[in-house]
Structure 1
Amino acid sequence: MAPELSTAHRVVRWDLPGHGGSAAGLVGAGATVGDLAGLVLRLADSLGVERFAYAGVSLGGAVGLHLALHHPERVSSLAVICSSAHFNGSKPWEERAELVRREGLAGLAESADARWFTPGFAVPRLVDDHRNADPEAYAACCDALAAFDLRDRLAEISVPTLLIAGREDPATPPAHLREIADAVPGAALVEIPGASHLAPAERPEAVLTALRTHFSGGALRGMEVRREVLGDAHVDRAQSRQTAFTARFQDFISRYAWGEIWTDPTLARRERSMITMTALVAHGHYDELAMHVRAARRNGLTPEEIGAVLLQTAVYCGVPAANSAFAVAQRVLAEEDGERA
């Protein structure tokens, strides 16, 4: 996923202490999420990075929440993936830390697939990394999770925030991400179907699309405009039908059509609606026409003005095309009258 993001962003990945190439001695017993956040800031300082967008999974997501709360001047935007503002109390993590200090990580690695992925899915390399982590550093990370709880301060987070939940995640279920989304002003929540706790590994395209949209200002504005013009119900249906196969296309629509074209102030939205309806009639896209007749009403066109646009298409697109278009528009306008009644 980092290579794909790096086409538009400078991407810096960091390992938890004692994981991958990160030194185990960076933290010790009794470590906190704040300690880990401090390591991230030290890394950014060493690279000359003053302000950055941040995305983190699980404990990494908790680090992102801490950074956004305590160092908002350093974080331009935040994505919290399969994480939480709390991790179900201290006891389970204290017990896990004690177990790992006593027996190492081999036993936990054996159950990693069940904790991280949906049944039948596995990434052996990630499990091997888990098994090979330094036990003391891993236990210190458990200590950090045991002490972490930001629920009463979430409303203080002011940076643009995206929450990504794996719909089948037992460790940090969607309800945990929804709790953050409901508390952080302006936060957005995306649920990834068919994904458990390591959603970026299991559904990389879907997570990548969400991150691209969030970290691209045009895409974020594009989604806002798309909802304003087409309505929440339509956009929610489109999002719910999104799959790994269609994810890049949905991202393209949000970034290009809605984030660049529809946001261009040269033309008013009502003018864009007129042009769009004409183009749809010309190409016979009547299902799309129905959607954009509704959009035209949202953009301020009256039924009489919509009729005038369609009458114009009879001259330049042909009477049969206009005839079909009038039938579609009449049905949509009648449905809208019925909804208002």
Structure 2
Amino acid sequence: MTDQPTGKLLHHRAEGPESAPPLLLGPSLGTSLALWDGLAPELSAAHRVVRWDLPGHGGSPADLIGPGATVADLADLVLALADSLGIGRFAYAGVSLGGAVGLHLAAHRPERIERLAVICSSAHFNGARPWEERAELVRREGLAPVAASADDRWFTPGFTVPRLVEDHRTADPGAYAACCDALAAFDLRERLPSITVPTLLVAGREDPATPPSHLREIADAVPGSALAEIPGASHLAPAERPEAVLAALRGHFDGYPGRGMEVRRQVLGDAHVDRAQSRQTPFTARFQDFISRYAWGEVWTDPTLARRERSMITMTALVAHGHLDELAMHVRAARRNGLTPEEIGAVLLQTAVYCGVPAANSAFAVAQRVLAEEDAAPDGA
């Protein structure tokens, strides 16, 4: 993980492997990259996550924008950050103002955006006047009056995140007011039908600032987009309901659990997966999700090794640890992945050398039974 003060670039934090697909995370007005603390470590398991601070927020310089700033200006700063990191196309998720930046990029620079998630945001923010008034107030009196109402605007009653409220209180007033100018001028409704990148809208069901109707308006206009509503979440849903937002983002950016379940069925067969699913209980549900998401959705989909090779490695590991029930399942999987009985026998013979003769002896017995059952089964069974 790297936390970068970058001079004339947006302050940012990069997490995850540099070789992983890039995912940029944008914040809400008044917050910092801490807004993503509950999600970024999880998302960085499969992505190169780069979260950034708005000008004058967190560690970003205040003079990156000035009075009369627009969302287009902020989008240009995000692209400059991506360029500095050697990132061409990227997935993007943003909250509120950060979500507006994502919409702008998807509408105006679609060649840079792979997939988009817009969280607790809008294609317009209830007209210019409220934001103009807030900008005037902040320029005149500082952020104390606005920060005092942060909990009411951001969270459901009784919930708060002190770190984010403090970020609001300590942001630079001039840069904050300039961000208000950007929100006042933002209205992307006419451009929504032109957005073609895969788009997910996430609404906090209790959000008074950008209620679900605002996200529904975007979903209705952007072709092929999807909408998810998070119960018990207000405007800063990633801070208040991180697990629910994380599940939605994983499903959109990684194809979980859909991609993993598809591969699992291809390798193990529908009958096996259906049996496993039918035995699932609330106690085992999270484990089943883990298997589909991690083993099948990440490891088995990695194109570095072919499925034939993965089958050979898997059988070897199962013999080494004596997992004979699992071995039977993966002998069947090996046949689906194109291994012949002779090749399976050769793998097991190799295990006799490196895992021990008794282990290989038991493995040959299991494999012989499975292969005989496969030969005896009618075609298509």
Which of the five TM-score ranges fits, normalised by the shorter chain?
0.5 to 0.7
TM-score (norm 1): 0.67
Q: Residues 86-112 of structure 1, C-alpha deviation per residue, up to 9 Å, x if partnerless?
A: 000000000000000000001111100
Structure 1 residue 205 corresponds to structure 2 residue 243: yes
Give the count of matched residue pairs.
247
Q: Residues 174-204 of structure 1, C-alpha deviation per residue, up to 9 Å, x if partnerless?
A: 0000110111011010000000000000000
Q: Which residue of structure 2 aligns with residue 68 of structure 1?
A: 106
Q: Which residue of structure 1 aligns with residue 233 of structure 2?
A: 195
Q: Which residue of structure 2 aligns with residue 339 of structure 1?
A: none
Deviation of 1:219 after TM superposition, in Å, equals 4.0
Q: Which residue of structure 1 aligns with residue 159 of structure 2?
A: 121
Structure 1 residue 155 corresponds to structure 2 residue 185: no
TM-score (norm 2): 0.60
| C-alpha contact (below 8 Å) 2:202/2:229 kept by paired residues | yes
SS at match of 2:54: coil
After TM superposition, list the pairs within 5 Å mapping 1:83-122 onto structure 2.
83-122=121-160
Structure with greater helix share of residues: 1
Q: Which residue of structure 2 aligns with residue 324 of structure 1?
A: none
Deviation of 1:152 after TM superposition, in Å, equals 1.2
Q: Which residue of structure 1 aligns with residue 75 of structure 2?
A: 37
Structure 1 residue 216 corresponds to structure 2 residue 254: yes
Counterpart CA distance in 1 for 2:91 and 2:137 is 35
Deviation of 1:223 after TM superposition, in Å, equals 9.1
Deviation of 1:39 after TM superposition, in Å, equals 0.2
Q: Which residue of structure 2 aligns with residue 184 of structure 1?
A: 222
Gaps of 5+ in 1: 226-242, 267-341
| C-alpha contact (below 8 Å) 2:250/2:256 kept by paired residues | no
Gaps of 5+ in 2: 1-38, 264-281, 302-306, 308-381
Q: Which residue of structure 2 aligns with residue 24 of structure 1?
A: 62
Q: Which residue of structure 2 aligns with residue 9 of structure 1?
A: 47
| 2:52 alignment partner AA | W
Q: Which residue of structure 2 aligns with residue 133 of structure 1?
A: 171
| 2:141 alignment partner AA | E
Counterpart CA distance in 1 for 2:65 and 2:165 is 22
Q: Which residue of structure 1 aligns with residue 211 of structure 2?
A: 173
| 1:157 alignment partner AA | I
SS at match of 1:53: strand
Counterpart CA distance in 1 for 2:97 and 2:203 is 14
Distance 1:200 1:258, change over 3 A: same
Deviation of 1:257 after TM superposition, in Å, equals 11
Deviation of 1:153 after TM superposition, in Å, equals 1.1
Counterpart CA distance in 2 for 1:119 and 1:247 is 31
Identity %, equivalent residues: 83
Deviation of 1:252 after TM superposition, in Å, equals 4.8
Counterpart CA distance in 1 for 2:284 and 2:164 is 27
| C-alpha contact (below 8 Å) 1:29/1:139 kept by paired residues | yes
| 2:72 alignment partner AA | G
SS at match of 1:205: helix
| C-alpha contact (below 8 Å) 1:15/1:22 kept by paired residues | yes
Counterpart CA distance in 2 for 1:213 and 1:251 is 12
Counterpart CA distance in 1 for 2:109 and 2:258 is 23
